[in-house]
Amino acid sequence: MMYMFWKLIGCRCEFRAAGSIKTLARTGCRVCLTRNMSSSPPRLQGCMSAWIIDQYGSNGVLKYTEEITVPTISSATEVMIKVHAVSLNPLDVAMRGGYGAKLLKLRRDPLSVMDSDSEFPLILGRDLSGVVVDCGSGVTHFAPGDEVWAAVPPWKQGSLAEYVTLTEYEVSHKPKVLSHIEAASIPYVANTSLSALVNGGGLCRDSSSNKRVLITGGSGGVGTFAIQLLKAWGAHVTVTCSQNAVGLVRGLGADEVLDYTAGDVVEQLETMEKFDVIFDGVGGDTEEWAMGLLKPWSGAKYVTLVTPLLLNTDSMGLLDGTLNAGCSLQSKAIQNLLSSGVFYRWGFYAPDGPALDEVSKLVDAGKILPVVEAQFSFTQVPQAFQKLEKGHARGKTVVRVAEEDDRQTEELVQDSSMETAESVQETAKQS
């Protein structure tokens, strides 16, 4: 149907399943011209709009600017992406306040340990969905025009900007069935869940059938994704959440849901069959009672996303903080292994393009759905952060970055469609 539309207006645009490469075959097509112009990096002006911070602090440190230099491709394997949508994560709020500042600064520039150069201005935002506009000479998996999604490593400039540059190994083709707004809600939580469940929990598509998994705090971004992923892999999933999120997590496929506001959730869990894996996104005193819910001496694993590593390096310094965190992990791991034969592990967010390729297949197959709780325009980034800071998330908060370009293209498509209809009617009259 879409092909027939382009054929009627006299423009031959090629569409391919992996993305949206469009070959301009007729210079008179205003829609294609607009798409190509709006997707091109502003090389001549050299600057782009972005939300930045130039100091750590509360929401007041967020600043909008149109004077950030457009990122350039600096290696053969990099791609430049025009950002259409971004979603926020608790990590963005934490990084705004300085979380992980010392370790991330070292990762950005190993020589920074010897000097006091500032890491500012910083652009926050980890998730993105957008369109490739330029590629390095060694890029083999992408081409200009491809629709992609990605999770930006925390040591790189973030996605709350018009353009980002990433290596092709950090990028994946966006699921065909999702809009940019929907797609932007998934990459960070997908990479985090996969890293934790595969590397920490020892689970995968072929080893999860009938495994009993407990997810604490299952209504947020990571939890809502992990539920769907585990169910797609065949696991039995139990979730803890508050009363007003019960319907959401049940709808995503959770087998058993416990409302932690309705009574002692630990007592309820203790009456159940023990678990093979516990995926903890809450932290606090969870590990004190969770270890006893795992199957003893059977390779069961407790994986938490709430670790002291970055907090320790921030407060104690790089060396002391890393040593302290390492000793803490080793102590807990040995203690739990010797006492009950269960494994204690930390889970971390790890950007991974090929992993997102597998997630994209599950999304296109209808096995994983985006869960978007709120949307904001690019001018409302501070309000989006405020929404996220309130906690008790029911999915993801998304920021629309390129909505003006999208609206302009839609208007041009509508205009061209009307012109086409009039032309067809006129031709019919003449014949």
Residue 273: DSSP 8-state: P
Strand order from edge to edge, sheet including 256-259: 256-259, 236-241, 212-216, 277-280, 301-304, 343-346
Question: What is the Cα–Cα distance from 306 to 187, expressed in whole angstroms?
Answer: 19
- What radius of gyration, in Å, describes the C-alpha atoms of the chain? 24
What per-residue confidence (pLDDT) applies to 8? 31
Helical spans, DSSP H, in 156-218: 180-183, 187-194
pLDDT greater than 50 at residue 424: no
Using 50, 70 and 90 to split pLDDT, how confident is the model at 263? confident
93-146: per-residue pLDDT in tens? 999 999 999 999 998 888 776 666 688 999 999 999 999 999 999 999 999 999
* CB atoms inside a 10 Å sphere around CB 179: 16
pLDDT greater than 60 at residue 18: no
What per-residue confidence (pLDDT) applies to 72? 93
> CB under 8 Å to 271, separation ≥6 — which residues?
none
Using 50, 70 and 90 to split pLDDT, how confident is the model at 21? very low
pLDDT greater than 90 at residue 426: no
32-65: per-residue pLDDT in tens? 433 343 445 554 459 999 999 999 999 999 999 9
What per-residue confidence (pLDDT) applies to 261? 85
Give the phi and the psi of residue 346 in degrees, each rounded to 5.
Answer: -100, 145
What per-residue confidence (pLDDT) applies to 41? 53
Using 50, 70 and 90 to split pLDDT, how confident is the model at 203? very high
* CB atoms inside a 10 Å sphere around CB 55: 13
What per-residue confidence (pLDDT) applies to 110? 81
E strands in 36-190: 47-53, 63-69, 78-88, 122-123, 127-135, 147-151, 163-167, 171-173
Question: What is the Cα–Cα distance from 254 to 203, expressed in whole angstroms?
Answer: 17
What mean pLDDT comes out for the span 376-397?
A: 94
User: What mean pLDDT is reported for the chain?
Assistant: 85
Q: Which helix (H) or strand (E) holds 257?
A: strand 256-259
Q: What's the length of the chain?
A: 431
302-323: per-residue pLDDT in tens? 999 999 999 999 999 999 999 9
Using 50, 70 and 90 to split pLDDT, how confident is the model at 392? confident
pLDDT greater than 70 at residue 410: no
216-241: per-residue pLDDT in tens? 989 999 999 999 999 999 999 999 99
Helix 187-194 × helix 353-364 angle, to 10°: 110
pTM of the model: 0.82
Question: What is the Cα–Cα distance from 139 to 170, expressed in whole angstroms?
Answer: 12
